[in-house]
Structure 1
Amino acid sequence: MKQTSPTPLLSIASYSIPFKVPGSQRDRQLLHYFCVQGSSDISGFITSDFWSKVVLQESHQDTAVRKALVAMSSLHLDYVTSESQAASVATLTHYGKAVRTIRKRLSQPTSDTTKVALVCCIIFYCCESALGDWDAALQHLGNGLKLLKSVRETQNMKDLTVMFERLDMQASFFQDDRVPILSLPDWKEYVKAVPEQGFSNPQEAHESLVKLQSWLYSFVNRHVELHEASVDLLSADILDEKDALVQAYNRWSRAFDELQRPKNDDSQDTHGLRVLLIHFHICQMILESKFPVNEKIFGASPNPTAHKILDLAETLLDHTTKLNSSPNATQTPRRNFSLESGVVAPLFALALKCSDESVATRAAGMLSSTHRREGLYDAQTMAQILNQLRISRDGDPGIKEEVQSDNGIVSALEYHIPGTYEGGGIDKLLASMRI
């Protein structure tokens, strides 16, 4: 971590912390900040029991979790109130204390040590993601996933499993050749991912969609060498699994349509449902474009499905702008950081893969106009990648011929990724582009 000057102390008349906090005034201020603003920011557009309940309960009961939460709150406050990627001296101090405390805690195990370790893995993943240290973040996530797999059959880890499943998928979005660690060994086990009785609440719909995403990414990576193959080159097993995936996504869509909508169009649940729709439509487009290859899905111009996704994302970014200017905010954010996947990755995917220039331009513009990081995805970094690819494409002499011969449609930006890129995700792509 790099250092910056410390963030000024907050002016707080009364603390919104649901329990007594031992330690310094600064610790109490940072936990207050987490309770009134940090937790909702980190949750993003989707309501999360982990950030609103679980992490607070664990921090009340365990010093290691509390110190980790203080460090994360300090880092989040640094992030939203400055434009520097570096952490303040105060945050570095908190982070160091948290690491030392969890190490000591692990050396003296008790009955709840496993849960404490898992919660701290998530918090440290959050910290390193905010700092843009992808390797360190993924290391913390990997440690947590390995530990979770070793214990979840013998211990009740429902709340933590749900959280790790989401982060597992986030890592696979970021590293496109990564099979989700928590993916099921037999794809037929995924068939029950959408309950027959439908969804009773948005959380159930979210959990179901994450399982379908895991299935899709596992399917694509298992057969990556055939994803552009025509139907006559695909085995019956691949076609059967593709058909089962299509049916599962259709069932999810029907169950989602029957889910009771909030009456308030500006409620947290409403924004969460929009995020789910965005992720559903993106995954459905990916599914429809492969096995066998269907270039019309992302190659269509105009592409109304892509614009529908952009319309949903636009309402969410407008909501963020409104919240940032609200007098209720503890600090007026210069940037936003959420651990949950929201709009950044889908916008990047559309800008990269769509041949409809109005879609690509609109998606890239939305990324460049927001200072938002969602887990491993940073909007400004994604916009920079897209800009470099556009410069490279438009400087290609063959593009003018392409435009003239194809009714003004140009090839998608993904076809202009440097030849030195051999796959592996955003970090490898950045290295190949020397950004």
Structure 2
Amino acid sequence: MSQPSYSNRSSAEPSSNPTSPSPSPAAAPSDLTKKKRTRASKPKQRARTEFVLACEWNETLRSMRRIEADLDGTEAEKRIYARFRAATVAAGSAHLCNFAAFWPRLTPLAGCQDEAVKHAVMALAAAYQLFQHPHEPAIDGLTRDDLEILTIQHYSQSIERLQVHAGSSGPESVRLTLICCLAFISLETLRGNHDVAVSHLINGLRILQSLPGSSFDGFVSRSTFVWPPNPTAASLQMPDILRIFARFERSACFFTHGIQPVVSERGYRIRRFDDGSSEALFLDLAHARMAMSCFQHDVMARLHEITVATLGDSSSAAMFWSDPVQQRQQACLVARSARLSLLTADFFSPSRFGTPDPTSPQLIALYLDLLYFRCAQFLITNTAGGAFDPNVESVFAAAQHFHRHHHHPQDHSNPPAAAILTNGQHTPPPTNLLSSILSLASRLLVASISQPQPQQQPHTRILTTLHTHLLAPLYLVASHIPDPHDPTRDAAVKLLSQILVRSGNSGVDIWGTTATTTNIDISFIERVIYDEIKGRSTTEPPRALTGAGCLPLLWDALALAGILT
């Protein structure tokens, strides 16, 4: 069997001149005519058909020999799936894999309901065993090659079975296609084929974009952006699937370009003029995470809106920002950012938050949300030159009102710690936000290193870990401080160097690729950041979350230099 390609730069686009036959039989001319009419008249079916075609002509899959076999549910397969379920059902690692609670709820589907989903989940389970636990005792004597074959077999068969859903307009077909899409995203992430994973994500978002507005009614409640909503539920419905796509969407916008935040846009339409005045004290951890996560998604949607509307010459941007509606939207987001700053300061005050275990997974997950919330605050404040920053005096008055009427009912003697920041501002200025982002990233890195780490061997790939979530915020800090001698920028660059390839016993880099060196030269990262700052116009929005992403320049530079192979 030809070995599959594990390149991080695998093409995810359908081949314009395929050299190998399609896994599915060719349609008769009359069928093709019928399909063309269907695609022209039904956006949902067209989106799903394009998704299946993209999977069929995936470059990675095309390099693999098809293996003819049916899913008989052998004992070995059952044990592989059981091990996968046992690993994902433990929500303790939810901060490393935001959708950890997703897969156990697929049991009814994987067991008896749909062939495409059944094969997709089995492929994912085999890949999980292959890449996450390569040195554990084999199941029923299966070798790594056997697991590789099993992964490819079920992956290709799932794509074949999806043909049934590509031609159907029923809501159940949409749901099952999206579940397979999520499985493919996770599988390609495990394999280190990040471009292919992003391609699957884009295809899934296109399907979501074709759905009617009623499918997104749940966005009235901001809990849409919090996972899991009901861990005891036995199956997955559209709101659950939307939540997972929302999480993937947010992460992908930090790591790649060309992502339209479809799910976030639907939610932001409802909250365009939400200035945060209705926000109350955070009652618990879930409430805090919901508010911060919702703000992140709204900022992402807003920045994409700005980028699309201001493409072209300067007159496009001038016309956009002269629109009173756009000014009001921007002012509302900045005001909500200020309000949420007060609420987070109150929530994290010692009188309320106490001193929890710094290595607690729940605390790490909360700090990770806070880190991305700070990034969103910086991005929206920095947009349009910060023209919509709140007036300092009015903000100070609002802070005084907040303290008098909304401080924690169990602590009447003292105001919330750090609620009123320097110069009476709700939201720190951009430079202070960058320092806060750096501080949070450093704290999370220390906490993650303090946790027990599984033994890894060279040439093994690891699933997205906490370290990968820190790369984009650190790059954001380093690439938005022009002074190369600034201590904040210097610290961010050093942490980037430390994270990109961790020195020590493992010798395995965080990207899931094999590095030819044991560390990344700091001067190399500095040159990439210098080129980024030099090429950035002073009038354009921040590169993160606006279509260019935080990391592609650094990623490509490392690849061109031969540091990542």
Instruction: Tell me the TM-score normalised to structure 1 length.
Output: 0.69
SS at the partner of 1:196? coil
Residue 122 of structure 1 deviates from its aligned partner by: 0.8
Q: Is 2:371–2:440's contact at 8 Å kept on the other side of the alignment?
A: yes
The answer as to whether partners of 2:264 and 2:298 remain within 8 angstroms in 1 is: yes
Q: Does 1:258 align with 2:339?
A: no
Aligned residue runs from structure 1 range 381-420, under 5 A: 390-391=523-524, 414-415=532-533
Is the alpha carbon distance of 1:3 and 1:223 closer, same or farther for their aligned partners in structure 2, counting shifts above 3 Å? closer
The answer to whether the 8 A contact 2:274-2:333 is kept is no
Q: What residue number does 1:398 align with?
A: none
Q: CA deviation at 1:191?
A: 4.6
**What per-residue deviation string (whole Å, max 9, x for no partner) do you get for residues 32-58 of structure 1?**
221222455984436647525433343
Q: CA RMSD in A?
A: 4.8
Per-residue CA deviation, residues 120-145 of structure 1 (Å, 9 max, x unaligned), is 11111112233343443233223322
Q: 2:105 is matched with which residue?
A: 54
Q: Which residue of 2 aligns with 1:71?
A: 123
Q: In 2 relative to 1, CA 211–271 (structure 1 residues): closer, same or farther, beyond 3 Å?
A: same
Deviation, 1:165, is: 1.4
5+ long unaligned stretches in structure 2: 6-70, 136-144, 216-236, 388-427, 538-542
| CA shift for structure 1 position 31 | 1.4
- Establish whether residue 141 from structure 1 lines up as the match of residue 201 from structure 2: yes
User: Are 2:445 and 1:314 equivalent residues in the alignment?
Assistant: yes
Q: What whole-Å deviation, never above 9, does each CA across 1:327-372 have from its counterpart, x for those lacking one?
A: xx9x999653139973333233334444521222123313321857
Q: Residue 400 of structure 1 corresponds to which residue in structure 2?
A: none
Counterpart-to-counterpart distance in 2, 1:430 and 1:335: 17
The number of residue pairs the alignment matches comes to 384
Closer/same/farther in 2, CA of residues 382 and 262 from structure 1, 3 Å limit: farther
> Is the contact between residue 216 and residue 245 of structure 1 (CA under 8 Å) also seen in structure 2?
yes
The reply to whether residue 364 of structure 1 matches residue 497 of structure 2 is yes
1:44–1:342 contact (8 Å) kept in structure 2:
no
Distance 2:95 2:458 in 1: 16
Farther off after superposition, 303-312 or 250-259? 250-259
Q: For 1:336, which of 462, 484, 487 is the aligned residue?
A: 462
Preserved contact between residue 438 and residue 492 of structure 2 (Cα < 8 Å):
yes
1:26-425 paired onto structure 2 within 5 Å? 26-38=76-88, 43-45=94-96, 48=99, 50-51=101-102, 53-63=104-114, 64-81=116-133, 88-104=148-164, 112-151=172-211, 153-154=213-214, 157-176=238-257, 178-184=259-265, 189-192=271-274, 196-197=279-280, 199=282, 202-224=285-307, 235=322, 237=324, 238-256=326-344, 257-258=346-347, 265=357, 266-292=359-385, 304-319=435-450, 321-324=451-454, 335-338=461-464, 342-354=469-481, 355=484, 356-369=489-502, 371=508, 378=511, 390-391=523-524, 414-415=532-533, 424-425=548-549
**% identical aligned pairs:** 16
How far 1:264 sits from its partner (Å)?
5.5
The 1:94–1:184 alpha-carbon spacing in structure 2 relative to 1, beyond 3 Å, is closer
Distance 1:353 1:298, change over 3 A: farther
Please say if residues 261 and 270 of structure 1, whose CA atoms lie closer than 8 Å, have aligned partners that are also in contact. Answer: no
Q: Distance in 2 between matches of 1:391 and 1:114?
A: 46
Post-superposition Cα deviations, 1:225-278, rounded to whole Å, max 9, x if no partner, equal: 59xx9xxx7547454333321222233344444387598524332221011111
For 2:439, give the aligned amino acid.
K
Distance 2:281 2:328 in 1: 24
Distance 1:203 1:58, change over 3 A: farther
Higher relative contact order (CA 8 A, sep 6+): 1
| 2:123–2:154 contact (8 Å) kept in structure 1 | yes
Gaps of 5+ in 1: 5-20, 396-410
> What amino acid maps onto 1:51 in structure 2?
F
Alignment check: 8 A CA contact 1:278 1:309 kept: yes
